[in-house]
Structure 1
Amino acid sequence: MADLSTSSGYLMGNLYSMLVPVLLAAIGIAAVSTSISGDEHDGRLEMLFAFAISRPTILLGRLSAAVLSVALSALAVLASVVLGRLFFELDVSWDGLVAITLVMVLFAVFHLCLAYVLAACGTSSAVSFAVPFAVLVGGYVLRSLVPLIDGAQDLANFSPWEWALAEDPLGGDVSAWRLGLLVLLSAAAVVAGTLVAKERDIHAP
Protein backbone atom coordinates (compact mmCIF):
# COMPACT_ATOMS: atom_id res chain seq x y z
CA MET A 1 0.00 0.00 0.00
CA ALA A 2 1.43 3.39 -0.99
CA ASP A 3 2.34 5.83 1.78
CA LEU A 4 0.20 8.83 0.80
CA SER A 5 2.17 11.10 3.12
CA THR A 6 5.12 11.05 0.69
CA SER A 7 5.23 12.60 -2.77
CA SER A 8 5.89 9.29 -4.53
CA GLY A 9 3.23 7.54 -2.46
CA TYR A 10 0.71 10.28 -3.26
CA LEU A 11 1.40 10.02 -6.99
CA MET A 12 1.28 6.22 -6.95
CA GLY A 13 -1.92 6.14 -4.94
CA ASN A 14 -3.75 8.78 -6.94
CA LEU A 15 -2.33 8.38 -10.45
CA TYR A 16 -0.12 5.46 -11.26
CA SER A 17 -1.66 2.60 -9.32
CA MET A 18 -4.93 2.69 -11.31
CA LEU A 19 -6.01 5.89 -13.10
CA VAL A 20 -3.11 6.31 -15.54
CA PRO A 21 -2.77 2.61 -16.45
CA VAL A 22 -6.50 2.32 -17.19
CA LEU A 23 -6.54 5.58 -19.15
CA LEU A 24 -3.54 4.73 -21.33
CA ALA A 25 -4.63 1.15 -21.94
CA ALA A 26 -8.16 2.27 -22.87
CA ILE A 27 -6.76 4.84 -25.31
CA GLY A 28 -4.61 2.20 -26.99
CA ILE A 29 -7.30 -0.48 -27.10
CA ALA A 30 -9.85 1.95 -28.54
CA ALA A 31 -7.40 3.21 -31.17
CA VAL A 32 -6.62 -0.31 -32.40
CA SER A 33 -10.22 -1.50 -32.26
CA THR A 34 -11.50 1.50 -34.19
CA SER A 35 -8.75 1.75 -36.80
CA ILE A 36 -8.56 -1.96 -37.63
CA SER A 37 -11.74 -3.81 -36.63
CA GLY A 38 -14.00 -0.82 -37.17
CA ASP A 39 -12.50 0.12 -40.53
CA GLU A 40 -12.55 -3.48 -41.75
CA HIS A 41 -16.21 -4.00 -40.99
CA ASP A 42 -17.05 -0.60 -42.51
CA GLY A 43 -15.22 -1.54 -45.72
CA ARG A 44 -12.38 0.97 -45.48
CA LEU A 45 -9.63 -1.60 -45.03
CA GLU A 46 -10.81 -3.53 -48.07
CA MET A 47 -10.29 -0.38 -50.17
CA LEU A 48 -6.78 0.12 -48.77
CA PHE A 49 -5.81 -3.49 -49.37
CA ALA A 50 -6.72 -3.01 -53.05
CA PHE A 51 -3.66 -0.75 -53.44
CA ALA A 52 -0.12 -2.04 -53.89
CA ILE A 53 0.56 -1.92 -50.15
CA SER A 54 0.95 -5.11 -48.16
CA ARG A 55 -1.50 -5.94 -45.41
CA PRO A 56 1.22 -6.06 -42.74
CA THR A 57 2.36 -2.56 -43.71
CA ILE A 58 -1.14 -1.16 -43.33
CA LEU A 59 -1.95 -2.99 -40.11
CA LEU A 60 1.41 -2.32 -38.47
CA GLY A 61 1.10 1.32 -39.47
CA ARG A 62 -2.19 1.54 -37.60
CA LEU A 63 -0.72 -0.32 -34.65
CA SER A 64 2.17 2.16 -34.61
CA ALA A 65 -0.29 5.05 -34.60
CA ALA A 66 -2.02 3.55 -31.56
CA VAL A 67 1.31 3.11 -29.76
CA LEU A 68 2.18 6.73 -30.61
CA SER A 69 -1.13 7.95 -29.17
CA VAL A 70 -0.38 6.08 -25.95
CA ALA A 71 3.16 7.46 -25.78
CA LEU A 72 1.98 11.03 -26.34
CA SER A 73 -0.68 10.64 -23.67
CA ALA A 74 1.93 9.28 -21.26
CA LEU A 75 4.17 12.25 -22.02
CA ALA A 76 1.26 14.59 -21.31
CA VAL A 77 0.84 12.95 -17.90
CA LEU A 78 4.59 13.22 -17.33
CA ALA A 79 4.52 16.92 -18.23
CA SER A 80 1.73 17.58 -15.73
CA VAL A 81 3.64 15.76 -12.99
CA VAL A 82 6.81 17.68 -13.85
CA LEU A 83 4.87 20.93 -13.46
CA GLY A 84 3.62 19.71 -10.10
CA ARG A 85 7.19 18.83 -9.17
CA LEU A 86 8.31 22.37 -10.00
CA PHE A 87 5.46 24.36 -8.48
CA PHE A 88 4.39 22.17 -5.57
CA GLU A 89 7.82 20.86 -4.61
CA LEU A 90 7.00 17.20 -5.12
CA ASP A 91 9.98 15.15 -3.98
CA VAL A 92 10.17 12.71 -6.90
CA SER A 93 13.34 11.90 -8.81
CA TRP A 94 13.72 12.33 -12.55
CA ASP A 95 14.79 8.69 -12.82
CA GLY A 96 11.59 7.63 -11.11
CA LEU A 97 9.41 9.74 -13.40
CA VAL A 98 11.10 8.35 -16.50
CA ALA A 99 10.83 4.79 -15.16
CA ILE A 100 7.13 5.00 -14.27
CA THR A 101 6.34 6.60 -17.64
CA LEU A 102 8.11 3.78 -19.47
CA VAL A 103 6.31 1.18 -17.35
CA MET A 104 2.93 2.79 -18.05
CA VAL A 105 3.59 2.80 -21.79
CA LEU A 106 4.68 -0.85 -21.84
CA PHE A 107 1.64 -1.82 -19.78
CA ALA A 108 -0.73 -0.05 -22.16
CA VAL A 109 1.05 -1.41 -25.24
CA PHE A 110 0.59 -4.95 -23.93
CA HIS A 111 -3.18 -4.46 -23.80
CA LEU A 112 -3.41 -2.72 -27.17
CA CYS A 113 -1.44 -5.61 -28.68
CA LEU A 114 -4.12 -7.96 -27.36
CA ALA A 115 -6.63 -5.79 -29.21
CA TYR A 116 -4.41 -5.96 -32.30
CA VAL A 117 -4.28 -9.77 -32.47
CA LEU A 118 -8.07 -9.94 -32.13
CA ALA A 119 -8.64 -7.21 -34.72
CA ALA A 120 -6.15 -8.78 -37.11
CA CYS A 121 -8.05 -12.07 -36.82
CA GLY A 122 -11.20 -10.31 -38.06
CA THR A 123 -13.23 -9.87 -34.89
CA SER A 124 -15.70 -7.02 -34.56
CA SER A 125 -14.70 -3.76 -32.93
CA ALA A 126 -16.87 -4.67 -29.93
CA VAL A 127 -14.92 -7.89 -29.37
CA SER A 128 -11.47 -6.41 -30.01
CA PHE A 129 -12.25 -3.71 -27.44
CA ALA A 130 -14.14 -5.73 -24.84
CA VAL A 131 -11.75 -8.68 -24.50
CA PRO A 132 -8.56 -6.66 -23.84
CA PHE A 133 -10.49 -4.36 -21.52
CA ALA A 134 -11.76 -7.42 -19.65
CA VAL A 135 -8.14 -8.58 -19.35
CA LEU A 136 -7.27 -5.12 -18.02
CA VAL A 137 -10.00 -5.20 -15.38
CA GLY A 138 -9.46 -8.86 -14.56
CA GLY A 139 -5.75 -8.27 -14.07
CA TYR A 140 -6.49 -5.48 -11.63
CA VAL A 141 -8.85 -7.71 -9.65
CA LEU A 142 -6.30 -10.51 -9.71
CA ARG A 143 -3.61 -8.25 -8.25
CA SER A 144 -5.64 -6.13 -5.85
CA LEU A 145 -8.59 -8.16 -4.59
CA VAL A 146 -7.92 -11.88 -5.07
CA PRO A 147 -4.83 -11.82 -2.78
CA LEU A 148 -7.16 -10.84 0.07
CA ILE A 149 -8.45 -14.42 -0.03
CA ASP A 150 -6.46 -16.79 2.16
CA GLY A 151 -4.09 -18.91 0.10
CA ALA A 152 -4.65 -16.94 -3.12
CA GLN A 153 -1.81 -14.44 -2.77
CA ASP A 154 0.35 -16.12 -5.44
CA LEU A 155 -2.33 -15.60 -8.10
CA ALA A 156 -1.30 -11.95 -8.32
CA ASN A 157 1.85 -13.11 -10.13
CA PHE A 158 -0.30 -13.87 -13.17
CA SER A 159 -1.53 -10.28 -13.46
CA PRO A 160 -0.02 -7.79 -15.94
CA TRP A 161 -0.54 -5.20 -13.21
CA GLU A 162 1.84 -7.14 -11.00
CA TRP A 163 4.38 -7.44 -13.81
CA ALA A 164 4.34 -3.67 -14.24
CA LEU A 165 4.04 -2.49 -10.64
CA ALA A 166 5.53 -5.28 -8.50
CA GLU A 167 8.53 -3.15 -7.64
CA ASP A 168 8.60 0.64 -7.15
CA PRO A 169 9.00 2.21 -10.61
CA LEU A 170 8.42 5.71 -9.28
CA GLY A 171 11.32 5.13 -6.92
CA GLY A 172 13.44 4.03 -9.87
CA ASP A 173 13.13 0.32 -9.05
CA VAL A 174 11.75 -1.82 -11.88
CA SER A 175 11.61 -5.56 -12.47
CA ALA A 176 13.46 -6.14 -15.74
CA TRP A 177 12.21 -9.69 -16.26
CA ARG A 178 8.60 -8.75 -15.60
CA LEU A 179 8.78 -5.86 -18.06
CA GLY A 180 10.53 -8.19 -20.47
CA LEU A 181 7.55 -10.53 -20.17
CA LEU A 182 5.20 -7.70 -21.14
CA VAL A 183 7.37 -6.92 -24.17
CA LEU A 184 7.67 -10.59 -25.18
CA LEU A 185 3.93 -11.24 -24.99
CA SER A 186 3.20 -8.00 -26.85
CA ALA A 187 5.59 -8.97 -29.65
CA ALA A 188 4.10 -12.47 -29.84
CA ALA A 189 0.60 -11.00 -30.20
CA VAL A 190 1.74 -8.68 -32.99
CA VAL A 191 3.49 -11.46 -34.90
CA ALA A 192 0.56 -13.85 -34.55
CA GLY A 193 -2.00 -11.25 -35.58
CA THR A 194 0.03 -10.12 -38.58
CA LEU A 195 0.57 -13.68 -39.84
CA VAL A 196 -3.14 -14.48 -39.57
CA ALA A 197 -4.15 -11.25 -41.31
CA LYS A 198 -1.87 -12.02 -44.28
CA GLU A 199 -3.72 -15.23 -45.08
CA ARG A 200 -7.37 -14.70 -44.17
CA ASP A 201 -10.21 -13.21 -46.17
CA ILE A 202 -11.21 -9.64 -45.42
CA HIS A 203 -14.74 -8.96 -44.25
CA ALA A 204 -16.82 -6.97 -46.71
CA PRO A 205 -19.57 -4.68 -45.38
Structure 2
Amino acid sequence: MFIEKVRDCFLTQHIEEITRIRGDSTGNTLDLLFSNEESIVGDIKLESPLGKSDHACIYFHCDIQEMEDKSKKQVYMYEKADYLLMKQRLMMEWIQYLSLEPDIESKWNKFKGKFQAVIDECVPKKIIRGLRVSRKRTNEKLPINRKLWAKVKKKQRLWERLKIMKTKFNERACTREMYLETEKEYRSLNNQVRWETRNILKRKEQEIAKNVKANPKVF
Protein backbone atom coordinates (compact mmCIF):
# COMPACT_ATOMS: atom_id res chain seq x y z
CA MET A 1 0.00 0.00 0.00
CA PHE A 2 2.77 2.44 0.96
CA ILE A 3 4.78 1.72 -2.19
CA GLU A 4 1.66 2.12 -4.32
CA LYS A 5 0.98 5.55 -2.80
CA VAL A 6 4.57 6.63 -3.46
CA ARG A 7 4.25 5.56 -7.08
CA ASP A 8 0.84 7.21 -7.45
CA CYS A 9 2.34 10.51 -6.26
CA PHE A 10 5.35 10.11 -8.59
CA LEU A 11 7.82 10.51 -5.72
CA THR A 12 11.51 9.62 -5.82
CA GLN A 13 13.15 7.91 -2.83
CA HIS A 14 16.80 9.00 -2.53
CA ILE A 15 18.22 6.92 0.36
CA GLU A 16 19.92 3.74 -0.84
CA GLU A 17 22.25 2.92 2.07
CA ILE A 18 21.56 1.28 5.42
CA THR A 19 20.41 3.90 7.94
CA ARG A 20 20.03 1.76 11.07
CA ILE A 21 22.57 -0.62 12.54
CA ARG A 22 22.04 -2.44 15.82
CA GLY A 23 23.50 -5.65 17.20
CA ASP A 24 23.13 -8.78 15.07
CA SER A 25 20.45 -7.31 12.80
CA THR A 26 21.24 -7.22 9.10
CA GLY A 27 20.82 -3.45 8.99
CA ASN A 28 17.86 -1.65 7.50
CA THR A 29 17.02 1.37 5.38
CA LEU A 30 14.33 2.82 7.65
CA ASP A 31 14.92 6.54 7.10
CA LEU A 32 13.64 7.72 3.75
CA LEU A 33 13.90 10.92 1.75
CA PHE A 34 11.26 11.68 -0.88
CA SER A 35 10.97 14.44 -3.46
CA ASN A 36 8.63 15.10 -6.35
CA GLU A 37 11.60 15.99 -8.59
CA GLU A 38 14.67 13.77 -8.58
CA SER A 39 17.06 16.55 -9.64
CA ILE A 40 16.43 18.89 -6.68
CA VAL A 41 18.07 16.59 -4.09
CA GLY A 42 21.80 15.91 -4.07
CA ASP A 43 24.97 15.62 -1.97
CA ILE A 44 23.36 13.04 0.33
CA LYS A 45 25.56 12.06 3.26
CA LEU A 46 24.83 9.58 6.03
CA GLU A 47 26.71 10.38 9.22
CA SER A 48 26.84 8.86 12.66
CA PRO A 49 23.69 8.99 14.84
CA LEU A 50 23.07 11.53 17.58
CA GLY A 51 22.96 10.53 21.23
CA LYS A 52 21.47 7.10 21.93
CA SER A 53 19.81 6.86 18.54
CA ASP A 54 20.86 4.06 16.20
CA HIS A 55 19.53 5.85 13.12
CA ALA A 56 22.00 7.67 10.89
CA CYS A 57 21.83 11.44 10.47
CA ILE A 58 20.94 12.30 6.89
CA TYR A 59 22.42 15.44 5.35
CA PHE A 60 21.44 16.56 1.88
CA HIS A 61 21.28 19.56 -0.40
CA CYS A 62 17.87 20.58 -1.71
CA ASP A 63 17.89 22.99 -4.63
CA ILE A 64 14.97 25.24 -3.77
CA GLN A 65 14.79 29.00 -3.51
CA GLU A 66 13.27 31.18 -0.87
CA MET A 67 10.06 32.47 -2.36
CA GLU A 68 8.13 35.61 -1.73
CA ASP A 69 4.58 35.96 -2.96
CA LYS A 70 4.30 39.50 -4.28
CA SER A 71 0.87 39.03 -5.82
CA LYS A 72 -2.02 41.18 -4.68
CA LYS A 73 -5.31 39.79 -3.45
CA GLN A 74 -8.58 41.04 -2.03
CA VAL A 75 -9.67 40.21 1.51
CA TYR A 76 -12.88 41.00 3.33
CA MET A 77 -12.81 43.46 6.24
CA TYR A 78 -15.40 41.73 8.41
CA GLU A 79 -14.70 44.05 11.33
CA LYS A 80 -16.20 46.89 9.25
CA ALA A 81 -19.15 44.95 7.84
CA ASP A 82 -22.72 46.33 7.93
CA TYR A 83 -24.30 43.41 9.76
CA LEU A 84 -27.65 45.18 10.14
CA LEU A 85 -27.98 45.53 6.38
CA MET A 86 -26.79 41.94 5.94
CA LYS A 87 -29.49 40.72 8.30
CA GLN A 88 -32.13 42.67 6.37
CA ARG A 89 -30.97 41.28 3.04
CA LEU A 90 -31.09 37.71 4.34
CA MET A 91 -34.58 38.01 5.87
CA MET A 92 -36.47 36.42 2.98
CA GLU A 93 -38.65 33.41 2.19
CA TRP A 94 -35.89 30.94 1.51
CA ILE A 95 -38.20 27.97 0.93
CA GLN A 96 -40.07 29.84 -1.78
CA TYR A 97 -36.83 31.26 -3.20
CA LEU A 98 -35.30 27.80 -3.59
CA SER A 99 -38.46 25.86 -4.45
CA LEU A 100 -38.04 26.08 -8.22
CA GLU A 101 -34.64 24.36 -8.18
CA PRO A 102 -34.84 20.69 -9.23
CA ASP A 103 -32.27 19.15 -6.85
CA ILE A 104 -30.19 19.73 -3.72
CA GLU A 105 -27.07 20.79 -5.58
CA SER A 106 -28.96 23.44 -7.54
CA LYS A 107 -30.59 24.73 -4.36
CA TRP A 108 -27.17 24.95 -2.68
CA ASN A 109 -25.62 26.81 -5.60
CA LYS A 110 -28.49 29.31 -5.66
CA PHE A 111 -28.27 29.83 -1.88
CA LYS A 112 -24.48 30.22 -2.04
CA GLY A 113 -24.73 32.73 -4.86
CA LYS A 114 -27.28 34.83 -2.98
CA PHE A 115 -25.28 34.69 0.25
CA GLN A 116 -22.07 35.68 -1.56
CA ALA A 117 -23.84 38.61 -3.20
CA VAL A 118 -24.98 39.85 0.23
CA ILE A 119 -21.43 39.55 1.58
CA ASP A 120 -20.05 41.52 -1.36
CA GLU A 121 -22.63 44.23 -0.73
CA CYS A 122 -22.27 44.49 3.05
CA VAL A 123 -18.60 43.73 3.71
CA PRO A 124 -15.93 46.15 2.43
CA LYS A 125 -12.75 44.76 0.88
CA LYS A 126 -9.12 45.78 0.79
CA ILE A 127 -6.14 44.74 -1.30
CA ILE A 128 -3.09 43.22 0.40
CA ARG A 129 0.20 41.84 -0.85
CA GLY A 130 1.17 38.24 -0.35
CA LEU A 131 3.27 37.42 2.68
CA ARG A 132 6.76 35.93 2.72
CA VAL A 133 6.39 32.17 2.80
CA SER A 134 9.75 31.26 4.32
CA ARG A 135 12.32 32.87 6.54
CA LYS A 136 15.90 32.08 7.35
CA ARG A 137 17.01 31.64 10.94
CA THR A 138 20.48 31.39 12.35
CA ASN A 139 21.19 29.40 15.49
CA GLU A 140 24.17 29.96 17.73
CA LYS A 141 26.50 26.97 17.76
CA LEU A 142 27.75 25.34 20.94
CA PRO A 143 31.37 26.12 21.86
CA ILE A 144 32.99 22.75 21.07
CA ASN A 145 36.71 22.50 21.83
CA ARG A 146 39.26 20.84 19.56
CA LYS A 147 39.53 17.71 21.68
CA LEU A 148 35.79 17.08 21.53
CA TRP A 149 35.66 17.96 17.84
CA ALA A 150 38.37 15.34 17.21
CA LYS A 151 36.20 12.77 18.99
CA VAL A 152 33.21 13.74 16.85
CA LYS A 153 35.27 13.20 13.69
CA LYS A 154 36.59 9.88 15.00
CA LYS A 155 33.02 8.84 15.81
CA GLN A 156 32.07 9.52 12.20
CA ARG A 157 34.99 7.40 10.94
CA LEU A 158 33.97 4.56 13.25
CA TRP A 159 30.41 4.81 11.97
CA GLU A 160 31.65 4.44 8.40
CA ARG A 161 33.76 1.44 9.43
CA LEU A 162 30.78 -0.05 11.29
CA LYS A 163 28.66 0.12 8.13
CA ILE A 164 31.40 -1.66 6.17
CA MET A 165 31.77 -4.33 8.87
CA LYS A 166 28.00 -4.84 8.91
CA THR A 167 28.02 -5.45 5.15
CA LYS A 168 30.94 -7.86 5.47
CA PHE A 169 29.25 -9.68 8.36
CA ASN A 170 26.05 -10.07 6.32
CA GLU A 171 28.13 -11.46 3.44
CA ARG A 172 30.04 -13.79 5.81
CA ALA A 173 33.26 -11.89 5.00
CA CYS A 174 34.12 -11.25 8.67
CA THR A 175 33.38 -12.93 11.97
CA ARG A 176 30.67 -11.89 14.38
CA GLU A 177 33.32 -11.06 16.99
CA MET A 178 35.08 -8.63 14.63
CA TYR A 179 31.82 -6.85 13.88
CA LEU A 180 30.76 -6.66 17.55
CA GLU A 181 34.19 -5.33 18.54
CA THR A 182 33.80 -2.48 16.04
CA GLU A 183 30.29 -1.79 17.29
CA LYS A 184 31.50 -1.77 20.91
CA GLU A 185 34.24 0.74 20.07
CA TYR A 186 31.73 2.97 18.28
CA ARG A 187 29.17 2.82 21.13
CA SER A 188 31.84 3.67 23.70
CA LEU A 189 33.03 6.75 21.80
CA ASN A 190 29.44 7.77 21.06
CA ASN A 191 28.65 7.75 24.79
CA GLN A 192 31.70 9.93 25.49
CA VAL A 193 30.67 12.48 22.86
CA ARG A 194 27.10 12.47 24.14
CA TRP A 195 28.20 13.02 27.76
CA GLU A 196 30.59 15.87 26.87
CA THR A 197 28.12 17.68 24.58
CA ARG A 198 25.45 17.47 27.28
CA ASN A 199 27.83 19.09 29.76
CA ILE A 200 28.60 21.89 27.28
CA LEU A 201 24.89 22.45 26.71
CA LYS A 202 24.23 22.48 30.45
CA ARG A 203 26.94 25.09 31.03
CA LYS A 204 25.53 27.17 28.17
CA GLU A 205 22.03 27.04 29.67
CA GLN A 206 23.40 28.06 33.08
CA GLU A 207 25.22 30.99 31.47
CA ILE A 208 22.01 32.12 29.75
CA ALA A 209 20.04 31.85 33.00
CA LYS A 210 22.71 33.84 34.85
CA ASN A 211 22.75 36.69 32.33
CA VAL A 212 19.07 36.70 31.34
CA LYS A 213 18.32 39.98 33.13
CA ALA A 214 21.19 41.80 31.47
CA ASN A 215 20.56 40.19 28.07
CA PRO A 216 16.91 39.02 27.85
CA LYS A 217 17.11 38.43 24.08
CA VAL A 218 20.09 36.09 24.23
CA PHE A 219 17.96 33.25 22.85
Scaled to the shorter chain, the TM-score interval is under 0.3
Structure ranking higher on relative contact order (CA contacts 8 Å, 6+ apart) = 1
TM-score (norm 1): 0.28
Between Structure 1 and Structure 2, whose CA radius of gyration is higher? 2
- Larger relative helix fraction: 1
Using the size of structure 2 for normalisation, the TM-score is 0.26
